[in-house]
Structure 1
Amino acid sequence: MEGFVFYYLVFFQFLVLSLLFHSTNFLSFVSKFRLIYVFVSVFNPKTDDETPFTYEQKTEKGPEGWGNINPEWKVCNTGRFQSPIDLTNERVSLIHDQAWHRQYQPAPAVITNRGHDIMVSWKGDAGKITIRQTDFKLVQCHWHSPSEHTVNGTRYDLELHMVHTSARGRTAVIGVLYKLGEPNEFLTKLLNGIKAVGNKEVDLGVIDPREIRFQTRKFYRYIGSLTVPPCTEGVLWTVVKRVNTISMEQITALREAVDDGFETNSRPVQDSKGRSVWFYDPNV
């Protein structure tokens, strides 16, 4: 490859000199200059990386540098309540709190490739959850592979995020973890849409979020952030303890649907910086 580049450069320089020295008038020079421009455009395409951010570590646009890419993203590097974190049983405080009250309902939805992930967003009223007397409306869900949160150092194969917002603009996210095993029923119904999404929005018809089945009896809760830029803090996280299953075909479909380079789209675990993590177990 390096030899090809060398001979290409030599040939290009020869072509430029030849055209310039044999130009007899300005119009001839202009036309030949255009020929050079076309040649360069074809054989030397633009190589600038236009991706806003990546998950590739130890690179300029990777997770360690997100806060330097855009001034509005600086909290990605300077924040004290960043997500995801390791949910270690040794550091959690037991709480006797109601998990949440769920009132989901079927509503029209679409599926979109956001480049870095695949998102299902509800266009109608898909219901809400109520946490500590605050209502949070379900807006969308998306997936990260492998999981972003770890439990006692264990990273799982997939993590689903159900994103909710309150009337005052607060965000609450439910995280559901998955490991390889039996196919997930919810993803089975979405598989055709995932494979067809490409770069366009695909109408899914009516989707019932209640089909995202997960156990609510035991969970972790803490205050964190969005796990992608701008890494906004103040997010109320609830991560379900019980791990669900997903098939390799479903993981592969999600990875193949995103843009190149985002097949793995998990932010590394962040420093908890001494913040409180609560664990709810009705049996304790």
Structure 2
Amino acid sequence: MKILLKSAIAASLLATAMTSAFSAETGVHWSYHGKADPTHWADGVPDNAACRSGHRQSPIALSEATAQRVASKDFAIHYEAGSVALLNNGHTIQANVSDANDTVVYKGESYKLDQFHFHTPSEHTLDGKSYPMELHLVNKGSNGQITVVGIFIQEGAENPALEPVFVDLPATQATAGRQAQVDIAALLPSDKKALVYSGSLTTPPCSESVNWIVLEQPIAMSKQQIAAFKAIFRDNHRPLQKLNHRQVSEE
């Protein structure tokens, strides 16, 4: 791990520059820093207008105390072990998933897991607390909508389920990545209690009508695993957005 961490640190300047890479969706520069940071994502880019004018933007500050309690869950998560294609897309480390059996059912609709990726620090906060990292599992439905499962990551013991990913993080941007076997079900915390709300993508074009399921119980990663990611992406989170009277439910 020490050798890998040194390699990641050596590549950090290059990777930091890559955070202003082109967006695959919008075809324009965007970044987390400098003149293309989140406050400028909509500048001169009509497709990114929601990043500035949207009223259901993500991430938000979540509060268990103010959430509406729901008697029964509107969601069910069905993940399993399988192969992922791991790559650096210029903004995060992303694992593309091809297994059709990885799904989330939300309000009776089935959403297939498309990819998962990481942010540091966490994009959402919970009861005023920010975590070192946040994992997003992006699920796409045949109805064109997206359901994202968000998981907070705290520092603790090494995470064996994520070791196949973090044993060799791709420090340079690429369109295709190495294959890794990941037990995706093992990434979830034991307690599936979640805060659920309607929001948006947290990257351009900031499209709305995204179902967010943010699990309240964090998972752990070791200090070394977190440091390896931060050596490549020192900060790739979007600042908190306004709630705008949206209802957050606890399920």
1:26 aligns with none
The verdict on how the C-alpha distance between 1:161 and 1:50 changes in structure 2, with shifts beyond 3 A counting, is: closer
* Cα distance in 2, alignment partners of residues 105 and 182 from structure 1: 22
**What is the rounded CA distance, in whole Å, between the counterparts of 1:144 and 1:270 in structure 2?**
16
Match of 1:30 in 2: none
C-alpha deviations, 1:109-132, integer Å up to 9, x for none?
Answer: 110101110000113324211122
Among all aligned residue pairs of Structure 1 and Structure 2, give the percentage whose two residues are the same amino acid: 28
Q: 2:219, 2:82 → 1: CA distance? A: 24
User: Aligned pair 1:54/2:31, yes or no?
Assistant: yes
RCO higher in structure (CA 8 A, sep ≥6): 2
Structure 1 position 187, deviation (Å): 1.9
Deviation at 1:95, TM superposition (A): 1.0
Contact kept? 1:111, 1:197, Cα under 8 Å: no
| Alignment partner of 1:175 is 2:150 | yes
> Aligned-pair RMSD on alpha carbons?
1.9
Stretches of 4+ moved more than 6 A in 1?
Answer: none
Would you say the 8 A contact 1:61–1:69 is kept in 2? no
Distance in 1 between residues matched to 2:192 and 2:76, nearest whole Å:
12
Quick one: which of 83, 108, 119 aligns to 1:108?
83
Equivalent position of 1:199 in the other structure = 173
How high is the TM-score relative to the length of structure 2?
Answer: 0.83
Larger Rg: 1
In the TM superposition, what is the alpha-carbon distance from 1:178 to its structure 2 partner?
1.2
- Residue 12 of structure 2: aligned partner: none
- What TM-score do the two structures reach when normalised by structure 1? 0.74
1:50 Cα deviation from its structure 2 partner: 6.1
Q: What is the match of residue 86 of structure 1?
A: 61
Q: Which runs of 5+ in 1 are unaligned?
A: 1-48
1:102 touches 1:128 (CA, 8 Å); kept in 2? yes
- Given that 2:115 and 2:139 are in contact with CA atoms closer than 8 Å, whether structure 1 keeps it comes out as yes
Larger helix share, 1 or 2:
1
Structure 1 residues 205 and 250: CA distance shift in structure 2, 3 A? closer
Query: Could you tell me which residue of structure 1 aligns to residue 203 of structure 2?
Result: 228
Residue 255 of structure 1 deviates from its aligned partner by 2.4
Counterpart for residue 40 of structure 1: none
The alignment partner of 1:198 has SS state of coil
Q: Is the 8 A contact 2:57 2:201 kept in 1?
A: yes
1:275 is aligned to 246
Residue 151 (structure 1) shift: 0.9
Partner of residue 73, structure 2: 98
Residue 243 of structure 1 aligns with an amino acid whose one-letter code is: P
Give the corresponding residue for 1:137. 112
Kept after mapping to 2: 8 A contact 1:107/1:207: yes
- SS of residue matched to 2:85: strand
Instruction: Give me the whole-angstrom Cα distance separating, in 2, the residues matched to 1:165 and 1:154.
Output: 29
Q: Using the alignment, how far apart are the partners of 1:85 and 1:205 within structure 2?
A: 32
Structure 2 distance, partners of 1:75, 1:176, is: 24
Q: Give 1:35's aligned residue.
A: none
Structure 2: runs of 5+ lacking an equivalent: 1-18, 22-28
